[in-house]
Structure 1
Amino acid sequence: MPAISDSAPDFALPGIGGETVRLSDLRGGVVVLFFYPRDDTPGCTTESIAFSEAGPAFAEAGAQVLGISKDSLASHEKFAAKHGLDVVLLSDEHGQTCEDYGVWVEKKMYGKTFMGIERSTYLIDADGRIARVWRKVKVAGHVDEVLAAVHELTD
């Protein structure tokens, strides 16, 4: 799992709209990566809507926001259309980026153990280094906290 001040692992992932997004292409600007478990589940929907609504504030602060899950592009497109999301959603169907960022972990729910994405957010500075990490994210208030961290980084 990458730590603060480490170089952020590069990736090239397909996004809705057919565009491949490469982290290295975004160097020079601040990037917020939020990893979420599944499209169209309550917490993931709330988080994605909040990041989408705050999109203009992140853009004004000079940050690009990217949401990543293992869902397919078709699932992402349906999810974005259903909820009017403006945030860029990327598909990591093979899970390599999730593993590179250490968010593919063993989870427990209702007495069952399984592998899944731990809701996490990474703030990456303009030099491609990890500036902040939030693990086991609680959705309420999270977007505001990330936006404040972006302002601290860019001011």
Structure 2
Amino acid sequence: MSVGRGHIWGYIKPCFYQDFSEEIPLEYQRVCKMIYYLWMFYVVTLFLNLLACLAFFTTNSSYRVDFGLSILWLILFAPCSLLCWYRPVYKAFKFTVFIGGLEPVSKRLSRSSPREFSPTRHSRLLLPQQPPLLPREPSRATTNARLGKAELG
């Protein structure tokens, strides 16, 4: 039985779906995976903090506050870091910017007739006209130097 995008087992759906090879452009896949590994390292560090605080608590009961806070940090900060830190980064890499707006990479790749980008056709959109440079007024020191006058402090 092949597991598709929709279900893990039978009727249970995953909370988050991520597939680097399908949703992330090829040039950003390595960066996105490194960020994912960094988030996993953060969660493992929180778990090791819990184990270390448990070890301290078993040897000395005065470390009960540290052990309680390590449980709180693991329960609170691991899911919050996923929702508030990793998922926005993944979604940012998931969407690519093109002339028409935002579009997922999977939809961009699945279009039957992709429009090619022409810099000459879209040059007006990409390169706005810059105002002409106005001549600067010469400074007082430059004017005095041209006239041969020494500027007195």
Fold match, TM over 0.5?
no
Q: Give 1 or 2: higher strand fraction.
A: 1
TM-score w.r.t. structure 1 length? 0.22
Larger Cα-atom Rg: 2
Q: Which of 1 and 2 has higher RCO (CA within 8 Å, sep 6+)?
A: 1
Q: Give 1 or 2: higher helix fraction.
A: 2
